[in-house]
Amino acid sequence: MTDNQRDLEAGIQLDLNGRMTYSGYLRLDQLLTAQQPLSQPPHHDELLFIVQHQVAELWMKLIIHELKLATARLRVDDLDACLKILARVKQVQRQLFEQWAVLETLTPSEYLEFRGVLGESSGFQSLQYRTIEFVLGNKNAQMLKVFECDPPAQAQLREVLEAPGLYDEFLRYLARRGHAVPAARVERDWSQPYQRHDDLLPVFKRIYEERAKFWPEYHMCEQLVDVEESFQLWRFRHMKTVERIIGHRRGTGGSSGVAFLKKALDLEFFPELLDVRTVLGS
């Protein structure tokens, strides 16, 4: 008898009536019935398209959960906790990035065979994606309009729009620690997109040049740069995936498609953290 067979005979729970089970705990009844292709007859590849998006939404759910805690810990000056959380966020972002390889096995001809069923739906309407963009500082009140048809979602997004984002909280933390953060970055209308402030440059220059003295701040700066780079890599790979699947067609959400996605690559979350690189040592 193998060890595994002995284990099975000795202790594995086989009478699961009325007990907590794997599928019960994970609500697999709901999770695994939520893939409902609309093409008729069902197109083989529509399941890939649905699963890819659902997995992305699940990872985004975790990212939001983590970023919420990260900003809350920053508010009470617990930078260590924030750093640990961001390390996890980065790993989730890696998953989201790697995931594109699966969708890239979908060819243009296969996608066009079921694209029609998507109607005017588009990733543009992803509440969780927009929430992450807002928490990271790319605020845009116009995006609320997309959620007019779903008032609770719109209200939730408005709350995120009007609250300080992760970078805002970091700058406020730095101010509390005695760094010379300009007043206009400690208090402002948080619903406005983050705008670069040149007076922050000497603040970060000092942190980088005296890193032994400001190690936690320095570490946080680098974590933020990592998060931003991972986000940009996701945007880039989305754009390249879209380019190879639909070329330069317009998007179902009404945008110009690839041209729109390319423009989004110019967006920056934490501009001064990249600017500081240019002035170090001078």
Minimum CB–partner distance for residue 253 and ligand NFK (Å): 5
> Residues 196, 271: contact at Cβ < 8 Å?
yes
**Residue 52 marked as a ligand binder:** yes
> Residues 257, 251: contact at Cβ < 8 Å?
yes
Q: Which amino acid is at 22?
A: Y
Q: What is the largest CA-CA distance in the chain?
A: 73
User: 3-class SS at 195?
Assistant: coil
How far is 150 from 138, CA to CA, in rounded Å? 22
**Residue 21 marked as a ligand binder:** no
Minimum CB–partner distance for residue 63 and ligand HEM (Å): 12
Minimum CB–partner distance for residue 43 and ligand HEM (Å): 13
How far is 273 from 218, CA to CA, in rounded Å? 10
**Residue 53 marked as a ligand binder:** yes
Q: Which is nearer to ligand NFK, 51 or 118 (CB)?
A: 118
Minimum CB–partner distance for residue 247 and ligand NFK (Å): 11
118 binds, among ligand NFK, ligand HEM, none (CB under 5 to 8 A by kind): ligand NFK
**CB burial class (10 A; 0-12, 13-18, 19+) of residue 17?**
exposed
How far is 50 from 81, CA to CA, in rounded Å? 35
> Residues 157, 147: contact at Cβ < 8 Å?
yes
**Residue 129 marked as a ligand binder:** no
Minimum CB–partner distance for residue 230 and ligand HEM (Å): 15
Q: Which is nearer to ligand HEM, 23 or 256 (CB)?
A: 256
Question: What DSSP element (H or E) covers 169?
Answer: helix 166-176
Residue with tokens 């284990």: 7
Q: Which is nearer to ligand NFK, 24 or 108 (CB)?
A: 108
Q: Which is nearer to ligand HEM, 30 or 142 (CB)?
A: 142
> Residues 88, 44: contact at Cβ < 8 Å?
no
Binding-site ranges for ligand NFK (CB under 6 A):
53, 115, 118, 121-123, 246, 251-253
Minimum CB–partner distance for residue 125 and ligand NFK (Å): 8
264 binds, among ligand HEM, ligand NFK, none (CB under 5 to 8 A by kind): ligand HEM
> Residues 278, 148: contact at Cβ < 8 Å?
no
Instruction: Please provide the size of the chain in residues.
Output: 282
Q: Which is nearer to ligand NFK, 93 or 252 (CB)?
A: 252
103 binds, among ligand NFK, ligand HEM, none (CB under 5 to 8 A by kind): ligand HEM
- Residues in the annotated binding site: 49-53, 111, 115, 238, 252
- Residues in the annotated binding site for heme: 238
- Residues in the annotated binding site for substrate: 49-53, 111, 115, 252
